[in-house]
Chain A
Amino acid sequence: MAIAESTMVVELEKILSPGQVLSGPAAQRAYDCDAYSVDRSKPMCIVLPESTEETAAVVKWCVANQVPFTGRGAGTGLSGGALPAKGGVVVSTKRMNQILEIDLPNRCLKAQAGIANKRLSDAVKEHGLHFAPDPSSQSVSTLGGNIAENAGGPHTLKYGVTAQHILGVTMVSPEGEIWELGGKVPGAPGFDFVSLIVGSEGTVGLVTEAWVKLTPLPAAVQTALIAFPTIRDATETVAEIIASGVIPAALEMMDRGILVALEAAFGLKYPEGTMALLLVECDKAPSAGGEHEIVAEEIAKVASICQSHNAIDVSIAQNEAERQKLWHARKKGVGAMGRLAPSIVTHDGVIPRSKLPEMLDFVYEVAAKHGVNVANLFHAGDGNLHPCFYFDDRDPKQVEAVVEAGEEIVRRCVELGGSVTGEHGVGVEKQDLLPLMFTSEDLRFQAMAKQIFNDGELCNPCKVLPTDKSCVEHKKRWRGAAW
């Protein structure tokens, strides 16, 4: 890449328009990382195409000039997937934010990649439908970003992650060709490329439009917040609920550290002696009838299991306002953590849920061993941990302890049959951890899959697979999203 920044801007402005190309120090600073802000790399310029065709034209220009390019949605990613590792061009989907077609009879919708997740559900809510994946960032995170990261959310326990809701994509290949894969009718014969593209972290091309599946809004919902006197009681309850045959829509857990933060920040109080809370939501899609009775039975069964595990309080929401209040503990937990320390690092590991009791014990042991503070707020039903270390990053010893503790926890997740990441992705953050899960043959296997789409080094380089050609000088101060 020998092209000068000024030349690049002029040429890209010819392809797009002057208002669609950003450059200069301020723009470069704004786009040098996503929400994983530990590692940074400046792009030479940022383009804002408004269509698939404009995106393809930009990519063709990049290929012709051997300029790396990296796609970016809202920049809420937590592993550096949108970091322009080798500089070059950031292709922002910010201006591709339109719903192109709503097909209610076929319960699907086609939208551009830059639309915020929540807008999809808002657009069809009056028709009793929604787009089920609901990452915490859904008010800003984009459809394209959700596809790239295979985003999850609290309700993925029952409804599945993004991959299960994408019917087809329009994308720009790493060479600048426009591809359409999948469509309104799922399951067509042939290799399932759409399933491979979802979750590929923007390394196999740039998704510009997608057909998404619309799911009926539940006809009945019940939510319970259950307080436990010990962490063990709560974690052992999780696996038993699932083993009983009840699959809640959401099954989230918050520990004492989160409750302390919530009380400090918002004055929320919970029963005395509470060491852990489980938030359980059961729902039922519209059917021939009896939805409310079925959900009531499920929540009663959940309550019974909780009580057999020494629950000290079971609160069941009686209306929507009470439901929202119970969700406060979950939704405001991370924000409340800001009261506890200047810096927070949230990890993302996943284990089989039956291992939650021993894993949580391990998390607290590791934190105690390293003398660091930890709180836990996570998707317990999926076994998806988010240990939050809170500390003062001005103290090098604390930083070192947090790094070491985090590494131990992630390693333990893998030892227990889990994964180094449940929903945040690999990006640049966890490339060097993939060998914990996969042999060199396994990684070559993955590289072969990537090669089907991308045999070069221009499309979002230096992501996902570890490479000898290290192009991001990973600072490794800490892992996880940091505030």
Chain B
Amino acid sequence: MAITRRQFIRRTGLATAGTVLGPSLFGSPFVRRAFADLGDRYLVVIFLDGGNDGQNTVVPVSNGGGSLRSDYEVYRRAGGGGLRLTPAQLGPTTIGNDPNTGAALALHPGLFGLKQLYDAGQLAVIQGCGYPEYSLSHEEARLIWQSGNPLRITPLSGTGWVGRHLAATYGASQIPGVCISDSIAAEFRQSTTSVLAIQELENFGFPWDGYGDDEAAKSAAFGALHANAAAGSQAAQVFIGNAGTATLNSTSNYPALHSDYENDRGAFSALYADIDRSVAYDLREVAKIIYGVNAGAPGVSARFFHLDNGGYDTHSDQGGATGQQYDLHRELGDSLKVFYDDLADMGAADKVLTVVWSEFSRRIQQNGSGTDHGSQGPMFVIGGPGALNGGVYGNHPNIAGADLENDGNTRYRQTAHAFRSTDFRDVFGTILKHWLNMTQPQILSNILIPDAAAGEYWNLTNGIDLDMGFLP
């Protein structure tokens, strides 16, 4: 596909916006007002790395008015790979019906935690998410989702859709985002605001050479040099003085959130530890930060979080109601259930929205004991009971043999088709519009950019829908 560039406005003005905010940044009324406008909200992005098999994540239990279950049986019964999920196995995790065919749907048995959230109105299942001319390369597909940029529009490359939102909303020395990782997730990349990468709050510190235990003296001197700069008369000097101070403060303020949480919420902390898997531990770090920010802990202001989990590239030994994918789903579902119970207990469930995505799905036809890279897959959006319209959104992809691509992949279907697919940008866009309070023109000019000249299906054929309905 030809790539056409569109006019792109550089937001250079924002890079200096932070310089007007002094070292007492976090107490600044300007910052607080920005948060108040957001309605005191948080966003958590969870990436399932490797291509989660959507065909066994949201599964047809019946045919309804179509043939989804029969088609599922054709492919997942065959081959003897043990992937087939029976109606009996799916019984405890049934959710709503497919909007298109009316087929009864169920989550993978491992997602029992999500089923509980579904029953509480806290889960939106969005089926058939993808984009036209999908990539089946892990790296390329991942970048497409992270950048929100299926057309690889040049000015957007190198930045992420969350990052562009942050750049448009926060100043240079603010720290609105934290990645529970050792690096900044591509979704959060941009050059205007600050995003922290924290693996464990307990060990998040400023990088000092440790010889002689001289950190306190160096830290004091660092603070003094930056205070001198912040009080200076030259723009770049003041900027660096403030930004360095914010950085030093965050490394000294964030670790305390760990002990505060452990002291106050040890019972919940133990629930995450019981799961003993990385999603649980990472969500516990998020919970610690939210607990701190929500309680007004000094010097912390993060609202956006990212975590990822690997292992979804199940070419072999995927398993059915037990096995590899079961373990992964169990980890995700149980962890999110504990996370939202924790949030509810601290009175913050309605303030936190979580979106779960994977770079692609997998083929309906199994290969021996696993599955190969496939096209559209489901996304999950989780929120508090008062902040989300739970339910099933989007159509299940058509898995009837006659409708598959030559390579066995489900087709990306456009507006007029009964099996219309969901452009993943509609999901991100709905979140930007209804959770982060951006206007549609802001979103479409700066954050998720359609490009009509490139034959963009999103706006020309599918119709942009940033009001999918899962958010009030």
- To the question of whether A and B form a pair in one complex, the answer is no
Residues of B within 8 A of A (CB): none
